[in-house]
Structure 1
Amino acid sequence: MTKPTGPTTPATPAPAGRPDPSARPRRVLVVCKGNICRSPAAAALLAARSPDRPEVRSAATTSWHLGEPADPLMVQTMARIGYDLSGHRAALLTAELVDWADELIAVDTETTRAVRRLAGPARTVHQLSDQGIFDPWGGPPDDFARTVREIEAALGPHHRPAPA
């Protein structure tokens, strides 16, 4: 039996300083305006519903609520369906977070534009829903329940976004 001849192609290592994406969970960043209502709820639901169990974070396009917990009404609404947002603290969207993420998801058109400005033209930004997710901030409990229903509908029962 003859051995193959010619050059072999060694595996290409990941760029220095970045882990090989195939050796870790997919990283998803969900973004909204304040990071106290929509994006933390969407991040929790996405992390639980995606079959590949991605690492999911959330962030805000504004610093209005930086470091604050999720809105108490969103914490209550999500707790009623089995999700704990009590440890959430609002974070600001940064270039470092954009670089961390394999996939960028925004909750509405305004947020999509803001993420695209920071991410640049080489990155794809997915909008969670064509019509946008309703912002319940400052509203009654029913508004928060509506927002969660919209996020659930946008994610669907077996949601797995296309790779960015």
Structure 2
Amino acid sequence: MFYNRGKGEDTLQRILFVCTGNTCRSPMAEAILKSKSLPGMEVKSAGIYAATGSEASSHAKTVLGNNAIPHNHRSSLLTTAEVEWADLILTMTSSHKYAIQQQYPNAIMKVFTLKEFTGEKFNHDVVDPYGGNLPIYEETFRELDQLIDKAIEKLKP
């Protein structure tokens, strides 16, 4: 699959999740995928407008903890280094995708919304739970978990 780098020990699939502030959706997606302990996969997350060093939101941490998913997150701003590192960049919204494609034209072919990548035909945005209550975060978590399971199926050789 084109998301793999090649032969030998560098056959890792490097997945980068991107959202706005890197405190809610993308850190949850990163933690969910990491928790699946898939061999040969590295996962990171970043935000288009992230303040570097912030913790994940308290509700995001609660939801991950309630689902027994380990997490230790500090937000990071999306940079050229992360874009070049990634084999596949999965964004939470179409606007994130387009912003990355405009700023990093060399990455156009490896940037998709998570929903687009998993085959959703309409509404490619994962709702932002930021500022919402715990049930909204739980709903976002469930949606991300289902989408990531679909993405894993697509990534299998």
Q: Would the TM-score normalized by the shorter structure come out above 0.5? A: yes
Aligned equivalent of 2:14, options 27, 37, 42: 27
**Which piece of structure 1 moves more, 148-157 or 97-106?**
148-157
Q: CA RMSD in A?
A: 2.2
> Does the 8 Å CA contact 1:34/1:60 hold for their aligned counterparts?
yes
Residue in structure 2 matched with residue 9 of structure 1 by the alignment: none
Bigger proportion of residues as helix: 2
Residue in structure 1 matched with residue 105 of structure 2 by the alignment: 120
CA distance in structure 2 between the aligned counterparts of 1:55 and 1:91, rounded to whole angstroms? 16
Confirm or deny that 1:137 pairs with 2:130.
Answer: yes
Q: Which amino acid is the alignment partner of residue 134 of structure 2?
A: P
Q: Classify the secondary structure of the residue corresponding to 2:26.
A: helix
Q: CA deviation at 1:116?
A: 1.3
Number of residue pairs the alignment of both structures matches: 142
| Larger gyration radius, structure 1 or structure 2 | 1
Matches within 5 A, 1:33-72: 33-49=20-36, 51-63=38-50, 65-72=51-58
TM-score (norm: length of structure 1): 0.77
**Which piece of structure 1 moves more, 154-163 or 93-102?**
154-163
Q: Classify the secondary structure of the residue corresponding to 2:97.
A: helix
Q: CA deviation at 1:115?
A: 1.7
Q: CA deviation at 1:162?
A: 4.2
Q: Classify the secondary structure of the residue corresponding to 1:62.
A: coil
Q: CA deviation at 1:45?
A: 1.3
Give ranges in structure 1 of 5+ residues lacking alignment: 1-19
TM-score (norm: length of structure 2): 0.80
